Amino acid sequence: MKISKISLSYHKPLLTNTFILMTLHKNAKSTVPSDHLAVIEKSAVGDASSTDTSSNDNGINLATIFEPYFRPDENTIVCGALDDEKVAALAAAGVELILNLQPDAELCFDERTAVERAAMQYEHLPINGAADLKQLKILAFDNILRQYHGKKIVMHCGSGNRVGAAIALRAGWLRGRKMDTAMERGRSHGLTKLAEEVHNRLLVPR
């Protein structure tokens, strides 16, 4: 019996502290408006899922809106053709620049007007397939990316394939990356059907 009393006495401060914390939590709930509590609880859930990319996009899960969708890094998004609704989603997600590689003939709406109306920057650099993957075009592509370095950007064409091709050629021609590294960079940005063309172009010294 003496041992039991000593054990109870030893744990008494812990029990008391637990009771105080429970009381404080209960009192806090009674004094904070319910709508504020909802915000706090929502924030806590957000903290728990901070690894979700939507936490960096103002809570918008872009992966459910865009197909195809590539996210090589936090500030770079690669996707296919846009429309008014997708432009609005990108603006809400905090995108600062949209770089369009589609020629005018492929566009189904006034993309520049939609982007600028949504308070984003717009750059248009048409790439007409493999024949247009020339060094001067890649230099212009590089210049745009350097101009907006550190900004949250979207690069798109019809499927992401031309974006990936431009990224791979930029890495190989202008950054001196090895073939494997340049091709991997391209694939992470959407390179698919143009992979053989890009590979062959990277074999030619520049």
CA-CA-CA-CA torsion sign (87, 93, 95, 99): negative
Task: For residue range 106-128, list pLDDT tens digits in order.
Answer: 999 999 999 999 999 999 999 99
Helices 161-169 and 135-147, axial angle in degrees (round to 10):
90
Q: Are 139 and 48 in contact (CB under 8 A)?
A: no
CA-CA-CA-CA torsion sign (95, 171, 183, 131): positive
Return the domain boundaries, the chain: 2-48, 65-203
Distance of alpha carbon 53 from alpha carbon 74, whole angstroms: 8
Q: What is 65-203's CATH topology?
A: Protein-Tyrosine Phosphatase; Chain A (3.90.190)
Q: What are phi and psi of 117, to 5 degrees?
A: -65, -30
Task: For residue range 7-55, list pLDDT tens digits in order.
Answer: 444 444 444 444 433 443 444 444 333 443 333 333 333 333 333 577 7
- Residues forming a β-bridge with 153: 76, 97
What mean pLDDT is predicted for residues 57-65? 97
- Does residue 132 surpass a pLDDT of 60? yes
The half-sphere exposure of 125 on its side-chain side, counting CA atoms within 13 A, is 21
3-state DSSP assignment of residue 91:
helix
Helices 195-203 and 161-169, axial angle in degrees (round to 10):
10
Distance of alpha carbon 180 from alpha carbon 172, whole angstroms: 9
CA-CA-CA-CA torsion sign (85, 86, 87, 90): positive
Q: What was the pLDDT predicted at 54?
A: 77
Q: What was the pLDDT predicted at 13?
A: 46
Distance of alpha carbon 156 from alpha carbon 145, whole angstroms: 13
Q: Which residues contact 43 (CB under 8 A, 6 or more apart)?
A: none
**Spatial CA neighbour of 192 closest among 62, 100, 68, 63:** 68
